[in-house]
Amino acid sequence: MQHTVERWDIFEVTLDGPAEGNPFLDVTFGARFAYKHRVIDVDGFYDGDGVYKVRFMPDSIGAWTYTTRSNIPALDGQTGTFDCVPAAPGNHGPVRVRDTYHFAYEDGTPHFSVGTTCYAWNHQGDALEAQTLETLKTAPFNKLRMCVFPKHYTFNQNEPPFHAFAPLQLPPEGGEPELPSPSGRGGRSETAFRGEGGRRFDFTRFNPAFFRRLEQRVGNLRDLGIEADIILFHPYDRWGYSTMPAEVDDRYLRYVVARLAAYRNVWWSMANEFDLMEAKTEQDWDRFFQIVQESDPYQHLRSVHNCHRFYDHNKPWVTHCSIQRSDLTQVSHWRELYKKPIVVDECCYEGNIPNNWGNITAQEMTHRFWEGFSRGGYVGHGETYLHPDDVLWWSKGGVLHGDSPARIACLRQIMEAGPPVDPRGAHWDLNQSADAEDAYRLLYFGINCPAYKDIALPEDADYTIDVIDTWEMTIARLEGPFSGKCRVNLPAKPYIALRIRKLH
């Protein structure tokens, strides 16, 4: 038994229990964790083959105790202790919202979200998944959007190695089981469903091997310092995952949360393009949020991603906005509308496929990152270059072919060398953001090509000014220092930014 655990790492209790019947439905299992007078009730889960687990992510350093609870005597009332020790370097805890519009790890380190999208990378088999992880080691991303369920779509026709539910057991005579319609709820609809591709799952039984594999990939990302933005539902489906009965949806959500919430790098995304999922209603989405919110002991970040229309991000269970839109100038507007962090996870992808959402240039991708960040938001990357075997980064991972990641890396360095910034003194002719003390300003000119800009700095302090060519990745310090009104000569080309810092 594990007796010490790193702060924000996973403490796991494993017990043996019944394997007969359907433990997914029949057995309740969980544990109460306690630190001094503080107690936290955590749901466990059945991992197959008579094995029961409960996972816990401690946030306080010191001695913890736990007591299990179950409707099965062998699993109930088991107790234990463990020590939570300080986090190792690189472990900053889960990401939280900070200062309304920004993020920070729980240890206080700012988190500047620099995301990418690999929807189905975790359904591609070990070789390609290992290559994706290898790519991510040197890529600039600290968040990755990925789906629990596999993806059926253009360039995504392959069958995943594992499925989330157990296969349906055929009757002994080989006869056809009675199958309800996909939209049926209750009765037999809970136990069996024929997907569009003809595959049949027993929706009352999860496939633990599938989830162990998912956890492995979430852990791989954690070890690379990458947040796993886990997409719980999505519309691109031939197996029936997008049209499961409500009871199955809800049980699935509780099971995923029980298994994954102790991973500190988890973010919950209710869906990719929720508004394309015709079988779900607004009430379903509200309920999904509520189930995740009430089940997750750690309150990981929660959002939902749109195609056309937005979910109402003002609802209290939404921690940040996850947005698909191309016009990044709207970031400042969305900030005012929702008063939450703005993450534009999808603003078209660098690539050359025929679909217009997947064929912008590296310049445009880089520009959208800067446009969004300099307006107080965060932007997500994706890449969709045609590939002979349909291995496009945006869904399958593999290697990166584009020219934007190097520029995004440069932006991330600049972000992390400065404070979070909010729009300040910006107007139609000036895209300017600054930190709270106005000791740091960022001006981004985007496609505009001024030969100079007149700027007004306080008279009573000195400032340095750097001219950043966001595409060429050069930073040139202007001869200074500067204060008061000054004219800054600029190269009159696109994609230039100014960084202005107060000298201390």
Binding stretches for a second copy (CB under 8 A): 351-357, 359-361, 364, 386, 428-430, 445, 447-454, 492-494
Tell the smallest beta-carbon distance from residue 490 to a second copy (Å). 8
12 neighbors 219 (Cβ within 8 angstroms): no
Tell the smallest beta-carbon distance from residue 450 to a second copy (Å). 5
Nearer Cβ to a second copy (178/428):
428
Nearer Cβ to a second copy (20/429):
429
Q: 478 exposed, middle or buried (CB, 10 Å; 0-12, 13-18, 19+)?
A: middle
Tell the smallest beta-carbon distance from residue 363 to a second copy (Å). 9
Residue 492 per-residue DSSP state: -
Nearer Cβ to a second copy (315/333):
333
Q: One-letter amino acid identity for 168?
A: L
Tell the smallest beta-carbon distance from residue 445 to a second copy (Å). 8
Look-up of token digits 């008579």? 50
407 neighbors 454 (Cβ within 8 angstroms): no
Rounded Cα gap, residues 277 and 232, in angstroms: 12
Nearer Cβ to a second copy (169/355):
355
185 neighbors 246 (Cβ within 8 angstroms): yes
Rounded Cα gap, residues 284 and 244, in angstroms: 12
Nearer Cβ to a second copy (318/365):
365
Rounded Cα gap, residues 322 and 285, in angstroms: 14
> For residue 358, what are the contacts with CB-CB under 8 A and spacing of at least 6?
348, 349, 351, 382, 384, 392, 394
Tell the smallest beta-carbon distance from residue 492 to a second copy (Å). 4
* Radius of gyration over every alpha carbon of the chain, rounded to an integer in angstroms: 25
Nearer Cβ to a second copy (297/423):
423
31's enclosing H/E stretch is strand 29-35
237 neighbors 292 (Cβ within 8 angstroms): no
Nearer Cβ to a second copy (454/479):
454
Q: One-letter amino acid identity for 426?
A: A
Instruction: Give the pairing of strands 200-206 and 95-98.
Output: unpaired
Peptide bond into 481 cis (omega under 30): yes
Nearer Cβ to a second copy (162/357):
357
Nearer Cβ to a second copy (65/326):
326
Closest CA to 318 of 333, 332, 338: 338
Tell the smallest beta-carbon distance from residue 459 to a second copy (Å). 21
Tell the smallest beta-carbon distance from residue 453 to a second copy (Å). 5
Rounded Cα gap, residues 308 and 310, in angstroms: 7
133 neighbors 220 (Cβ within 8 angstroms): yes
Instruction: Give the pairing of strands 342-346 and 378-381.
Output: parallel
Tell the smallest beta-carbon distance from residue 386 to a second copy (Å). 5
Nearer Cβ to a second copy (98/453):
453
Tell the smallest beta-carbon distance from residue 433 to a second copy (Å). 16
Tell the smallest beta-carbon distance from residue 431 to a second copy (Å). 9
